[in-house]
Structure 1
């Protein structure tokens, strides 16, 4: 990585060389990282999140690809969330017999076993499946970063259905990663995890649920656009889009 520049708050940034894009075949990508030695507390992490950065393990990053701005940071203003008909059905179904539990960051075999099953079943064609291990899982989801993280579990009876790894910021929750039982996909546990996080953010009096990057051409990212209204970062400000509006920025 090459040193790039310093941003407000005295954080040094580093820019990677080009590498294959993880989301769109045939494209090349670059990534801008915050100095991993920098002290990142909840307030500074919130500020980074508000300008389009994302956390992976102990690293904060955002795409910086040549001539490409397809990765769009999105967040849901939870007080205004208007569930679609299918989302209301999802909530009604799962609310009847799913139990939610909040756990602190800790390596639990039941979590890792579910994560491994999920990656191999749902992302077997991606980079994550090439290096699925306890070590990579811990670096990705258990690394300390200076703030607070929950593992939000959803149980169907005694069966672990999903785990939503969720960061807590002063202005909202951040959906870092969710993995679920592939055999329970008919219950749309990913959608239910987002609804659970949004409701918890609202209960705590927080404003937003950050969903990371949305890419229009990526089918794996399509679910994010279904939560409306949604706000998208255009590089300068957050723009709001209602249910009938496509996420488009004025040129």
Structure 2
């Protein structure tokens, strides 16, 4: 009987392009393919090291002269809602949650288009058609759910918000979320995060992964408002106690060379080299 060793994932770097979060800076990503029998284990392992999933790719910011993007998660055991967040829960108490398989529908796409046209009309996803939306939702080799939030009105449950969510071995990861623009005054984005804290507790999982927090970026500042927040920095997770103490790291020497970054990545089933 022949025994073969699993192929180690190969890591690549994207070409620099304008940063969508901080003006005047260039972004670059370190990425690898997410595929094969070990996809779930690889996703679990790299999520703990600051990577995010987009379809069948795992990526992490690796800019040449900036380290502002910080992978963020909530430790649900340390989370307590603020007064404002409790108001958000009350304002959205009429929403019902339903988790489905990762299968795109026209109803979801229509809501997605309304969201983009209202809030991100010039963003990188602005031109996504139904087929590209379906790929975003359905091309996943791991445990992924589409979590729909509906509101009862005149016998019809209207779709009001959606989160594409991965189930990890230590938490839930909010890959992408969107909502009806007219709900903005009810803070539906915050509500979905609060509800994912409840989901993690229901599943007995310790973390809610939020993507990247970028200190100094108005688009991402809301993530600092959640207690129990942790960020991945310097190869480890650390608790954020004073968000105002974090600043965008822009000195070229604040970023390790790509080869050193890759060498420090721990892969599933491989003992890390110290």
TM-score (norm 2): 0.82
Counterpart of 1:5?
Answer: none
CA distance in structure 2 between the aligned counterparts of 1:181 and 1:40, rounded to whole angstroms: 37
CA distance in structure 1 between the aligned counterparts of 2:135 and 2:21, rounded to whole angstroms: 21
CA contact (8 A) 2:103 2:134 kept: no
Choose which of 86, 99, 103 in structure 2 pairs with 1:106.
103
Query: How much has 1:106 moved relative to structure 2?
Result: 0.5
Corresponding residue SS for 2:71: strand
Counterpart of 1:87?
Answer: 85
Counterpart of 2:148?
Answer: 153
Q: Based on CA coordinates, which of the two structures has the bigger radius of gyration?
A: 2
Specify whether residues 36 and 49 from structure 1 end up closer, same or farther in structure 2 by C-alpha distance, changes over 3 A only: closer
Counterpart of 1:238?
Answer: 237
Size of the aligned set, in residue pairs, is 240
TM-score (norm 1): 0.89
Query: Quick check: 1:60 aligned with 2:58?
Result: yes
CA distance in structure 1 between the aligned counterparts of 2:206 and 2:244, rounded to whole angstroms: 22
CA contact (8 A) 2:76 2:197 kept: yes
CA contact (8 A) 1:166 1:173 kept: yes
Query: Quick check: 1:134 aligned with 2:130?
Result: yes
Specify whether residues 14 and 38 from structure 1 end up closer, same or farther in structure 2 by C-alpha distance, changes over 3 A only: farther
CA contact (8 A) 1:172 1:208 kept: yes
Counterpart of 2:12?
Answer: 14
Query: How much has 1:105 moved relative to structure 2?
Result: 0.6
Specify whether residues 35 and 106 from structure 1 end up closer, same or farther in structure 2 by C-alpha distance, changes over 3 A only: closer
Counterpart of 2:272?
Answer: none
Corresponding residue SS for 1:161: strand
Unpaired runs of at least 5, structure 1: 1-8
Superposition map of 1:1-80 within 5 A: 10-35=8-33, 40-80=38-78
Corresponding residue SS for 2:220: helix
Query: How much has 1:87 moved relative to structure 2?
Result: 0.3
CA contact (8 A) 1:52 1:235 kept: no
Specify whether residues 41 and 35 from structure 1 end up closer, same or farther in structure 2 by C-alpha distance, changes over 3 A only: closer
CA distance in structure 1 between the aligned counterparts of 2:36 and 2:244, rounded to whole angstroms: 37
Corresponding residue SS for 1:206: coil
Counterpart of 1:143?
Answer: 139
Counterpart of 1:168?
Answer: 167
State the Cα RMSD in Å. 2.0
CA contact (8 A) 1:71 1:215 kept: yes
**Stretch moving more, 15-24 or 53-62:** 15-24
CA distance in structure 2 between the aligned counterparts of 1:22 and 1:57, rounded to whole angstroms: 20
Corresponding residue SS for 1:178: strand
Unpaired runs of at least 5, structure 2: 1-6, 255-274
CA contact (8 A) 2:104 2:137 kept: no
Query: How much has 1:177 moved relative to structure 2?
Result: 0.7
Counterpart of 1:187?
Answer: 186
Query: How much has 1:128 moved relative to structure 2?
Result: 1.5
Any idea what the Cα deviations from partners look like across 1:162-209, whole Å, max 9, x if unmatched? 001110001000011110000111111111110111110011110100
